[in-house]
A = this chain, B = another copy of it.
Amino acid sequence: MLLRILFLSALLFSGLTQAMLVEKQRFEIAKFTTENGQLIAPVQVGWEAYGQLNEAKDNVILITHFFSGSSHAAGKYSEEDALPGYWDNIIGPGKAIDTDRFYVISVDTLVNANVFDPNVITTGPATINPATGKPWGLDFPVVTIGDFVEVQKALLDSLGIERLYAVIGASMGSFQAIEWATRYPERVERLVPVIGTAFIDAWAAVRLERWAYPIKADPAWKNGDYYATGQPTEGLITALSYIIQDAVYPTGFNLRYPAPFTDAAPHQDIRASFSAWQQLREHAAVRAAYQDANHILYLVRASQLFRAGMGDNWQAALKRVQARTLLLPATGDQLLLPQMSRTTQQALEAAGKEVHYHEIPGIWGHLDGVVGMPAVAEVLSEFLQQ
């Protein structure tokens, strides 16, 4: 898939040395009440960690993952893995997020997209509701970024970790990081929202709805009740195609996909499609094999509902933040525009907070928040040393 190919650059950094080997662990909450008052019993999520927790338990950095991601932020499960975790370019011994110093922990979200990936543990519409013995389907409650944070907090509490040296997350991970610093300000010392924002506006909510639409429009979706009959694959692949494209700036996209002039058939037949579209769908199909359509809908909804504090005034909510903040938007980001980080910065500054802003350069747009991180590794490293 696209990410795998783009990760080749990450491989140049990580492939030359022995991989950091990591292990997936399971965390369970017997009864979890969601922000909208519904019960999920039990919640199970996967997590992994890199580095060593010190005795004072004050060297913890929480990594919160993006929409299509998982807790596999760095390292490999075995030397044979083709690729390491998505931020292996900045997490590891001697790297910007230095595992020689920090205990770095990452948790699968609720309704994780990759529910059928054997290395992901999550709870959502596609997982079994013990009360019925069947997949939850749309009986699963709408969950929020706040719910993701509560699951992470329960895990940290179970480990006796009270304070976070930093919370760092990209994209939807930035929402969780910001919600952490807003909801539990006394527990978060440093906040690094990467390709992020403190609020989803009408424009972004509608853009996200466009990811949900092809799934809902697929007759195989059956109002979410498809677990006995099979996934709405056509709709899911289309949704994932849009997600891939929206995360990539044209310069990068055009390096990867063929120009329209290379195709003759579309000039002769309105039904013929371009190779770029076909190839994008093929990449999406690889991803779709590990993902569930309802999980995508729930992640879209969790993202749409996000604003810091989850109330009606995200700027006021940011006044509670105590963390020093470093905003790292990507210059070419067309999904969560640098302008959104600027607006977040202004709100934090208006509340008298310390905020740093640094753009990630690159040709990949939103995706530079993953593959382009080496360009800001030094900025991040310095921020974490202060």
Contacts and interface: CB of A to CB of B under 8 A. Distances in A.
Contact of A202 (B203, B207, B242, B258): B258
Nearest to A258: B202
A329 to B, nearest CB: 14
B202 A266 contact: no
A287 interface: no
A202 B270 contact: no
B202 A304 contact: no
Nearest to A218: B217
A151 to B, nearest CB: 18
A202 B274 contact: yes
A264 to B, nearest CB: 10
Contacts of A339: 250-251
B209 A250 contact: no
A210 interface: yes
Interface stretch (A58-66, A79-87, A305-313, A371-379): A305-313
Interface residues of A, number: 60
B267 A206 contact: no
A334 B261 CA distance: 22
A260 B301 contact: no
Given A260-B205, A270-B142, A305-B266, A213 B238 contact: yes
A268 B202 contact: no
Contacts of A238: 213, 217
Interface in A236-273: 238, 241-242, 245, 248, 250-251, 253-254, 257-262, 266-271, 273
B253 A36 contact: no
B202 A276 contact: yes
A307 B242 contact: no
A120 to B, nearest CB: 21
Nearest to A274: B205
A201 B142 CA distance: 39
Interface in A272-324: 273-274, 276-277, 280, 297-298, 301, 304-305, 307, 311-312, 314
A268 B36 CA distance: 7
Copies of this protein in the assembly total: 2
Interface in A194-247: 200-207, 209-210, 213-214, 217-219, 223-224, 238, 241-242, 245
A60 to B, nearest CB: 31
Contacts of A298: 270
A144 interface: yes
A305 B267 contact: yes
Contacts of A312: 261-262
Interface in A169-205: 200-205
B301 A259 contact: no
- Which are the 6 A-B pairs with shortest beta-carbon distances? A202-B276, A203-B250, A202-B257, A203-B253, A205-B260, A201-B254
Interface of A: 35-36, 138, 142, 144, 200-207, 209-210, 213-214, 217-219, 223-224, 238, 241-242, 245, 248, 250-251, 253-254, 257-262, 266-271, 273-274, 276-277, 280, 297-298, 301, 304-305, 307, 311-312, 314, 334, 337, 339
23 contacts: A200-B260, A202-B254, A202-B257, A202-B276, A203-B248, A204-B250, A205-B276, A206-B245, A206-B257, A206-B277, A206-B280, A207-B245, A209-B273, A209-B274, A217-B217, A224-B270, A260-B304, A260-B305, A266-B301, A266-B304, A266-B305, A267-B305, A274-B304
